[in-house]
């Protein structure tokens, strides 16, 4: 079977990464969570005091300091899944907090942030054999990907999943806050000028509102088998 490129895009918290990780593990491909890379840029900006209390971003300093941001992924032997590292530090937990979630979309809308992350993502996928999830993977990062999937689910179902995930990790969460946050992120992600969230013309749409994780996995494996012949 040839090594193909698989792009999985879609709305916030629709279970893209679960599907993508499971598929990559099953077929022995590299998995890259591109959202984690934008979350790392956001964490860096927060830690360095580049986001004011009112949300204003010091874009001049952030742009100058972009070369200091190095994101990598290492397999966690315990979970069998990759953890995200920012400049050598494991930030897998810190990038998933509500604080990062509420600032990430404006950071991801900055053209110089997108240019830097897109270049890194394309370098990671040069050899094929990769599953990458995000918002613009099938449209901007890998427009020639052999398999493109666009995942969605209703707002309430997505918010419930995200809320359950935060609670399971012991992080404080309020359902309405989670729902508003994901709607706001979808709005900013879909309306930004550079590489907005949209379905690629040749993507297959999957509404997983009423599918189990196992059903999604099977569906995706079938699509992969059709393309990787
Ligand atoms: O998938 P996620 O929720 O972890 O993504 C975090 C944010 O990063 C999301 O609000 C949009 C942005 N993002 C993006 O703009 N492009 C991508 N390829 C992936 C994520």
pLDDT in tens, 48-82: 999 999 999 999 999 999 999 999 999 899 988 89
> Token digits for 132?
């990458």
Instruction: Please identify, by atom number, the ligand 1 atom nearest to the C-alpha of residue 108.
Output: 15
Please write the tens of the pLDDT for every residue from 1-29. Answer: 789 999 999 998 898 999 999 999 999 99
Backbone angles phi, psi at 130, to 5 degrees: -135, 145
Say whether 81 sits in a helix, a strand or coil: strand
Cα(101)–Cα(223) distance, rounded to whole angstroms? 31
Lining ligand 1 with CB less than 6 A are 12, 34-35, 38-39, 104-105, 108, 134-137, 185, 189
The structural domain count of the chain equals 1
CATH of the domain at 63: 3.40.50.300
Asked if residues 172 and 33 have their Cβ atoms less than 8 Å apart, the reply is no
Residue 106's pLDDT band (cuts 50, 70, 90): very high
Instruction: Please identify, by atom number, the ligand 1 atom nearest to the C-alpha of residue 39.
Output: 6
pTM of the model: 0.92
Tell me which residue range forms the domain holding 61. 5-227
Closest by CA to 34, choosing from 73, 81, 76, is 73
């Amino acid at each position: 079977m040839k090594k193909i490129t698989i792009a999985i895009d879609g709305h916030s918290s629709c279970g893209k990464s679960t599907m993508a990780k499971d598929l990559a593990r099953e077929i022995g491909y590299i998995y890259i969570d591109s959202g984690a890379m934008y979350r790392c840029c956001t964490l860096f900006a927060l830690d360095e005091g580049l986001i004011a209390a009112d949300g204003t971003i010091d874009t001049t300093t952030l742009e100058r300091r972009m070369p200091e941001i190095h994101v990598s992924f290492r397999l966690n032997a315990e979970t069998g899944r990759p953890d995200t590292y920012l400049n050598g530090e494991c930030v897998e937990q810190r990038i998933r907090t509500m604080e990062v979630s509420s600032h990430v979309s404006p950071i991801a809308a900055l053209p110089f942030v997108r240019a830097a992350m897109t270049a890194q993502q394309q370098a990671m996928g040069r050899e094929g054999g990769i599953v990458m999830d995000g918002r613009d993977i099938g449209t901007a990062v890998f427009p020639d990907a052999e398999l493109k999937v666009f995942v969605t689910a209703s707002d309430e179902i997505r918010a419930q999943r995200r809320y359950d995930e935060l609670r399971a990790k012991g992080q404080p969460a309020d359902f309405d806050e989670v729902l508003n946050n994901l709607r706001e992120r979808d709005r900013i992600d879909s309306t930004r000028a550079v590489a907005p969230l949209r379905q690629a013309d040749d993507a297959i749409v999957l509404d997983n509102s009423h599918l189990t994780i196992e059903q999604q996995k099977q569906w995706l494996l079938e699509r992969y088998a059709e393309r990787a012949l």
